[in-house]
Amino acid sequence: MNTQPHPIQTVTLAFTGASGMPYGIRLLECLLQSGKTVWLLYSQAAQVVAQQEANLALPSSPAACQALLCEKYGVSAQQLRVFGKDEWFAPPASGTNPADAMIICPASMGVVAAVAHGTSDHLIERAADVCLKERRPLVVVPREAPLSALHLENLLALARLGAVILPPSPGFYHHPQSVADLVDFVVARILDQLRIPHTLMPKWGEK
Protein backbone atom coordinates (compact mmCIF):
# COMPACT_ATOMS: atom_id res chain seq x y z
CA MET A 1 0.00 0.00 0.00
CA ASN A 2 1.39 3.41 -0.97
CA THR A 3 1.33 5.67 2.09
CA GLN A 4 3.40 8.50 0.62
CA PRO A 5 1.62 11.88 0.60
CA HIS A 6 0.49 13.20 -2.74
CA PRO A 7 3.18 15.58 -4.02
CA ILE A 8 2.21 19.23 -4.09
CA GLN A 9 2.26 20.59 -7.63
CA THR A 10 -0.38 23.35 -7.65
CA VAL A 11 -0.76 25.83 -4.80
CA THR A 12 -3.44 28.45 -4.30
CA LEU A 13 -1.79 31.42 -2.59
CA ALA A 14 -3.93 34.20 -1.12
CA PHE A 15 -2.82 37.65 0.00
CA THR A 16 -5.21 39.43 2.38
CA GLY A 17 -5.17 42.78 4.12
CA ALA A 18 -3.14 41.83 7.20
CA SER A 19 0.33 43.17 7.78
CA GLY A 20 3.07 40.76 6.72
CA MET A 21 3.08 41.08 2.95
CA PRO A 22 6.86 40.43 2.74
CA TYR A 23 6.12 36.86 3.86
CA GLY A 24 3.58 36.36 1.09
CA ILE A 25 5.76 37.89 -1.62
CA ARG A 26 8.80 35.83 -0.63
CA LEU A 27 6.61 32.72 -0.49
CA LEU A 28 5.34 33.40 -4.02
CA GLU A 29 8.92 33.74 -5.24
CA CYS A 30 10.01 30.50 -3.59
CA LEU A 31 7.03 28.51 -4.87
CA LEU A 32 7.73 29.66 -8.43
CA GLN A 33 11.45 28.93 -8.08
CA SER A 34 10.62 25.40 -6.95
CA GLY A 35 8.64 24.86 -10.15
CA LYS A 36 5.19 24.84 -8.56
CA THR A 37 2.12 26.16 -10.35
CA VAL A 38 0.62 29.03 -8.36
CA TRP A 39 -2.94 30.33 -8.46
CA LEU A 40 -2.74 33.76 -6.86
CA LEU A 41 -5.70 35.49 -5.21
CA TYR A 42 -5.61 38.87 -3.47
CA SER A 43 -8.03 41.22 -1.81
CA GLN A 44 -8.38 44.96 -2.33
CA ALA A 45 -6.96 45.51 1.15
CA ALA A 46 -3.94 43.40 0.19
CA GLN A 47 -3.19 45.86 -2.62
CA VAL A 48 -2.92 48.64 -0.04
CA VAL A 49 -0.69 46.58 2.25
CA ALA A 50 1.56 45.46 -0.64
CA GLN A 51 2.14 49.06 -1.63
CA GLN A 52 2.78 50.19 1.93
CA GLU A 53 4.99 47.35 3.14
CA ALA A 54 6.75 46.16 -0.01
CA ASN A 55 6.43 49.07 -2.44
CA LEU A 56 4.67 46.66 -4.78
CA ALA A 57 1.76 48.01 -6.79
CA LEU A 58 -0.61 45.13 -7.50
CA PRO A 59 -2.95 46.16 -10.34
CA SER A 60 -6.67 45.88 -9.73
CA SER A 61 -7.01 43.92 -12.97
CA PRO A 62 -6.09 40.25 -12.46
CA ALA A 63 -4.82 40.05 -16.06
CA ALA A 64 -2.56 43.06 -15.56
CA CYS A 65 -1.32 41.68 -12.26
CA GLN A 66 -0.56 38.32 -13.86
CA ALA A 67 1.42 39.98 -16.65
CA LEU A 68 3.35 42.10 -14.14
CA LEU A 69 4.27 39.21 -11.87
CA CYS A 70 5.08 36.79 -14.69
CA GLU A 71 7.55 39.33 -16.03
CA LYS A 72 8.93 40.09 -12.55
CA TYR A 73 9.64 36.44 -11.77
CA GLY A 74 10.40 35.24 -15.31
CA VAL A 75 7.67 32.59 -15.45
CA SER A 76 4.93 31.73 -17.91
CA ALA A 77 1.23 32.46 -17.57
CA GLN A 78 0.73 28.70 -17.24
CA GLN A 79 2.84 28.61 -14.07
CA LEU A 80 1.39 31.73 -12.45
CA ARG A 81 -2.30 32.50 -12.82
CA VAL A 82 -4.07 35.37 -11.07
CA PHE A 83 -7.80 35.37 -10.37
CA GLY A 84 -10.10 38.17 -9.21
CA LYS A 85 -12.21 37.95 -6.08
CA ASP A 86 -15.43 37.48 -8.05
CA GLU A 87 -14.17 34.93 -10.60
CA TRP A 88 -16.47 32.13 -9.52
CA PHE A 89 -15.58 30.02 -12.56
CA ALA A 90 -11.88 29.96 -11.57
CA PRO A 91 -10.52 26.47 -10.79
CA PRO A 92 -10.06 26.98 -7.01
CA ALA A 93 -13.78 27.78 -6.64
CA SER A 94 -14.81 24.17 -7.20
CA GLY A 95 -14.05 20.85 -5.59
CA THR A 96 -13.86 19.33 -9.08
CA ASN A 97 -10.57 21.14 -9.78
CA PRO A 98 -8.94 22.27 -6.53
CA ALA A 99 -5.26 23.00 -6.03
CA ASP A 100 -3.18 20.45 -4.16
CA ALA A 101 -2.87 22.90 -1.26
CA MET A 102 -3.71 26.46 -0.26
CA ILE A 103 -1.83 29.05 1.77
CA ILE A 104 -3.33 32.27 3.12
CA CYS A 105 -0.35 34.50 3.82
CA PRO A 106 -0.80 36.93 5.41
CA ALA A 107 -4.22 36.07 6.79
CA SER A 108 -6.39 38.84 8.19
CA MET A 109 -8.68 38.14 11.11
CA GLY A 110 -11.64 38.98 8.88
CA VAL A 111 -10.75 36.25 6.41
CA VAL A 112 -9.97 33.83 9.25
CA ALA A 113 -13.45 34.44 10.69
CA ALA A 114 -15.16 34.05 7.30
CA VAL A 115 -13.39 30.76 6.53
CA ALA A 116 -13.98 29.41 10.03
CA HIS A 117 -17.71 30.03 9.69
CA GLY A 118 -18.15 29.13 6.02
CA THR A 119 -19.26 32.56 4.76
CA SER A 120 -17.69 32.55 1.31
CA ASP A 121 -18.30 36.06 0.03
CA HIS A 122 -15.34 36.11 -2.36
CA LEU A 123 -12.96 33.70 -4.06
CA ILE A 124 -10.33 33.64 -1.28
CA GLU A 125 -12.87 32.41 1.25
CA ARG A 126 -14.47 30.00 -1.21
CA ALA A 127 -11.10 28.51 -2.21
CA ALA A 128 -10.27 27.90 1.45
CA ASP A 129 -13.70 26.34 2.00
CA VAL A 130 -13.04 24.01 -0.95
CA CYS A 131 -9.67 22.97 0.50
CA LEU A 132 -11.28 22.07 3.81
CA LYS A 133 -14.16 20.10 2.33
CA GLU A 134 -11.89 18.28 -0.13
CA ARG A 135 -9.36 17.45 2.62
CA ARG A 136 -6.55 19.37 0.93
CA PRO A 137 -3.85 21.05 3.05
CA LEU A 138 -4.74 24.59 4.14
CA VAL A 139 -2.02 26.68 5.81
CA VAL A 140 -3.17 29.87 7.50
CA VAL A 141 -0.56 32.47 8.45
CA PRO A 142 -2.41 34.90 10.78
CA ARG A 143 -0.84 38.27 11.48
CA GLU A 144 -2.40 40.08 14.43
CA ALA A 145 -1.27 41.11 17.92
CA PRO A 146 -2.60 40.81 20.49
CA LEU A 147 -5.15 38.15 19.72
CA SER A 148 -8.61 38.53 21.23
CA ALA A 149 -10.63 35.59 22.52
CA LEU A 150 -12.70 35.80 19.34
CA HIS A 151 -9.59 35.57 17.16
CA LEU A 152 -8.37 32.58 19.14
CA GLU A 153 -11.75 30.85 18.88
CA ASN A 154 -11.82 31.31 15.11
CA LEU A 155 -8.25 30.01 14.74
CA LEU A 156 -9.10 27.03 16.96
CA ALA A 157 -12.14 26.32 14.81
CA LEU A 158 -9.93 26.23 11.70
CA ALA A 159 -7.40 23.99 13.43
CA ARG A 160 -10.15 21.57 14.38
CA LEU A 161 -11.30 21.56 10.75
CA GLY A 162 -7.84 20.45 9.69
CA ALA A 163 -6.10 23.71 8.80
CA VAL A 164 -2.52 24.35 9.89
CA ILE A 165 -2.26 27.57 11.90
CA LEU A 166 1.24 28.93 11.40
CA PRO A 167 1.79 32.36 12.99
CA PRO A 168 4.73 34.25 11.45
CA SER A 169 6.90 33.89 14.56
CA PRO A 170 10.54 33.66 13.48
CA GLY A 171 13.08 31.91 15.65
CA PHE A 172 16.49 33.34 16.46
CA TYR A 173 18.57 30.20 16.99
CA HIS A 174 19.93 30.53 13.44
CA HIS A 175 21.36 33.98 14.29
CA PRO A 176 19.53 36.07 11.69
CA GLN A 177 21.48 39.02 10.33
CA SER A 178 18.69 40.82 8.50
CA VAL A 179 14.94 41.20 8.15
CA ALA A 180 15.21 38.97 5.07
CA ASP A 181 16.58 36.18 7.28
CA LEU A 182 13.56 36.47 9.58
CA VAL A 183 11.19 36.38 6.60
CA ASP A 184 12.96 33.32 5.19
CA PHE A 185 12.59 31.51 8.53
CA VAL A 186 8.80 31.82 8.37
CA VAL A 187 8.62 30.98 4.66
CA ALA A 188 10.76 27.89 5.29
CA ARG A 189 8.30 26.70 7.94
CA ILE A 190 5.41 27.13 5.50
CA LEU A 191 7.18 25.18 2.78
CA ASP A 192 8.05 22.45 5.29
CA GLN A 193 4.34 21.98 6.05
CA LEU A 194 3.75 21.13 2.39
CA ARG A 195 6.95 19.08 2.12
CA ILE A 196 8.29 21.40 -0.58
CA PRO A 197 12.12 21.26 -0.62
CA HIS A 198 14.01 24.49 -0.10
CA THR A 199 17.43 25.85 0.81
CA LEU A 200 16.29 28.90 2.78
CA MET A 201 18.02 27.70 5.92
CA PRO A 202 19.61 24.48 7.21
CA LYS A 203 17.51 21.87 8.93
CA TRP A 204 17.86 21.50 12.69
CA GLY A 205 20.99 19.46 13.46
CA GLU A 206 22.54 20.18 10.06
CA LYS A 207 25.35 22.61 9.43
Q: H or E segment at 112?
A: helix 109-116
- Best CA proximity match to 58, nearest among 99, 86, 17: 17
Query: Can you give the C-alpha Rg of the chain in angstroms?
Result: 16
Binding positions for FMN: 17-19, 43, 143
Binding positions for dimethylallyl phosphate: 173, 189
Binding positions: 17-19, 43, 143, 173, 189
3-state helix, strand, coil in the chain (%, to 5): 40, 15, 45
* 99 vs 96: CA distance, rounded Å: 10
* 42 vs 156: CA distance, rounded Å: 24
